[in-house]
Amino acid sequence: MTAISAVFIVYLVILAGVALWSRSETHTMSGYFIAGKKLPPWVVAFSTNATGESGWLLLGLTGMGYAAGAQAFWVVAGEVVGIALAWLLLSRRIKRLSDKSDSITVPDVLAARFDDRAHVLRKLSVLIILVMVGAYVAAQMVATGKAFDGFTDLSYSTGVLVGATIIILYTLVGGYKAVAWTDLIQGILMLLGLIIVPLIAIRTAGGWDAVTSSLHLQDPGLLTPWGPDGKSTAAMVGILSFLAIGLPFMGVPQLMVRFMSARSEKSLVPAMAISVTVILLFDLGAVLTGMAGRALFPGLEDPEGILPLISTTLLHPVLGGIMMVVVLAAIMSTVDSLLILASSAVVRDYWQQIRGSLQGKKALSDRALAQRGKLVTLIIGIIGVAFALHQTPLIFWFVLFAWSGLGAAFGPVLLCAVWYPKTNLAGAFAGMLGGFVTTVVWVLWLKPYFYDLLEIIPGFFVGLVLTIIVSNLSRNDGPGYQQ
């Protein structure tokens, strides 16, 4: 048995143990989808970060550090500011509103805030979540295949299947509680990996001065904040786009659920300090790994393969096995959360709330709904695998599309819901639809004409403006927000 295989088996045993330990919480919807709102600060903090980062961090951002050099530090700044604002502006107010309304999902929160008896926001939310989560899960499954292909002798397709099986099984067995606690384990592994690997890579290259000298010889632009293209309109738009990557933190449902699942509003304060510090270390480590990797291995055809390459060539086999687990941990920590998010949208928001109210039949028991949640989790996971097996897009940009779509749809509405009392149902619906549609239209038709400006910027702006304007032009058809 190889060292990589041994480390991987140990990791699987730990995941299985956490899933079985969490199983008792999965017999109710609140337990399966939100862990009964009992999670401690460390778990909430690491789960928030691990869910937001994913294979995008360890493969995509390291690849961006390799390709763009110092310009990728703008991504670090954007993410740190974005997640800090999410904690400061949304976490405690979302938690307060969700507890007051006994909400399980983000659409629950919106329905309670705007007295959405016709379920218009729920219907739109379910549609957006399923479309964007489908793209997101497929991209993460792609990252799983790349990870196995880079670290082991398994093919890309086999890697997708193996990784997906593991993720789906422990999510089915342990529900959201298993997802959150494994996020803590996975987040700690990611943090250690992103501290150790760049240090080893920089040392192997001869120190930081040697790294910068090598990058300067390859392209002086790799050491400037403007990037390889130099000072230009395109570079400025690129910097703005990198900074805006943090915007979706203020709204993506998979992160808002983390705030809702905390044991108390007070516990969110230490969680915020942990989260912001850790994400700074995450991102700095990823970019430095990419830059050191370019000094060591210039001319890679696929920059997103730099972390597996460093791990398998520079590290001891045991450390290489741990790094494979770290990459898989990053992917799993997002996929499991997305599966729970999509499943809750189908079962809680569609099946119980929308369909149940339309049919007027005897409601299913809480246990029966939880079981349906597990079935939906399995189905969505299989669909994600099917897409991943037939396409291999760049992880960085494909994830950003789904990330931006969710952020533009939910971010402006949630911000206005808790900070702008005049926001009403009509405004919320217009903002959510406008933000989502703008994001999709921008990616499909407009992006190339605006120097590839990241879609979250026009999407978030349109969503925010529509929410405010429509709320002011229409009658106040929902209750105001009470702090």
The predicted-structure confidence for 199-233, as pLDDT tens digits, reads as follows: 999 999 999 999 999 999 999 999 999 998 888 99
Highest mean pLDDT among 8-22, 292-306, 467-481: 292-306
pLDDT (tens digit per residue) in 260-306: 999 999 999 999 999 999 999 999 999 999 999 999 999 999 898 89
What pLDDT is attached to residue 329?
79
- What percentage of the chain exceeds 70 in pLDDT? 95
Residue 439 within any structural domain of the chain: no
How many separate domains does the chain show? 1
Report whether 227 contacts 64 (CB < 8 A).
Answer: no
Residue 2 confidence (pLDDT) above 90: no
Domain membership flag for residue 464: no
Check if the beta carbon of residue 406 is closer than 8 Å to that of residue 249.
no
Q: Rounded to whole angstroms, how far apart are CA atoms 47 and 54?
A: 11
Confidence at residue 480, expressed as pLDDT on a 0 to 100 scale:
55
432 inside domain: no
| pLDDT band at residue 314 under the 50/70/90 scheme | very high
Say which amino acid occupies 25: E
Cα pseudo-dihedral 166, 169, 172, 175, rounded to 10: -40
Query: What is the three-class DSSP state of 39?
Result: strand
CATH of the domain at 139: 1.20.1730.10
How far, rounded to the nearest angstrom, does the alpha carbon of residue 153 sit from its chain's CA centroid?
A: 28
The C-alpha torsion from 309 through 313 and 318 to 321, rounded to 10°, is 20
The residue range of the domain holding 264 is: 3-359+374-392
pLDDT of residue 74: 98
In total, the chain counts a number of residues equal to 483
End-to-end CA distance of the chain: 58
pLDDT in tens, 59-81: 889 999 999 999 999 999 999 99
The confidence score (pLDDT) of residue 357 equals 65
pLDDT digits (tens, 9 = 90+) for 252-261: 999 999 999 9
Neighbours of 312 (CB within 10 A): 17
Q: Looking at the domain assignment, is residue 287 inside a domain?
A: yes
Q: Say whether pLDDT at 27 is over 90.
A: no
- The pLDDT confidence band at residue 392, using thresholds 50, 70 and 90, is low
CB 261 within 8 A of CB 51: no
d(CA 23, CA 31): 9
Question: Is 139 a domain residue?
Answer: yes
* Banded model confidence at residue 324, pLDDT cuts 50, 70, 90: confident
Q: Is the pTM of this model over 0.85?
A: yes
- Amino acid 476: pLDDT: 58
Do the domain assignments include residue 474?
Answer: no
Residue 481 lies inside a defined structural domain of this protein = no
Per cent of the chain over pLDDT 90 is 67
Report DSSP letters for 395-457, one per residue. Answer: HHHHHHHHHHHHHHHHHHHHHHHHH-TT--HHHHHHHHHHHHHHHHHIIIIIGGGGTT--THH
Each residue of 137-181: pLDDT tens digit?
Answer: 887 888 788 788 888 888 889 999 998 999 899 899 999 999 999
Half-sphere exposure of 287 (CA within 13 A, CB side): 20
* pLDDT one-digit tens code per residue, 78-117: 999 999 999 999 999 999 999 999 999 999 999 999 999 9
**pLDDT tier at 396, thresholds 50, 70, 90:** low
Within a domain: 469? no
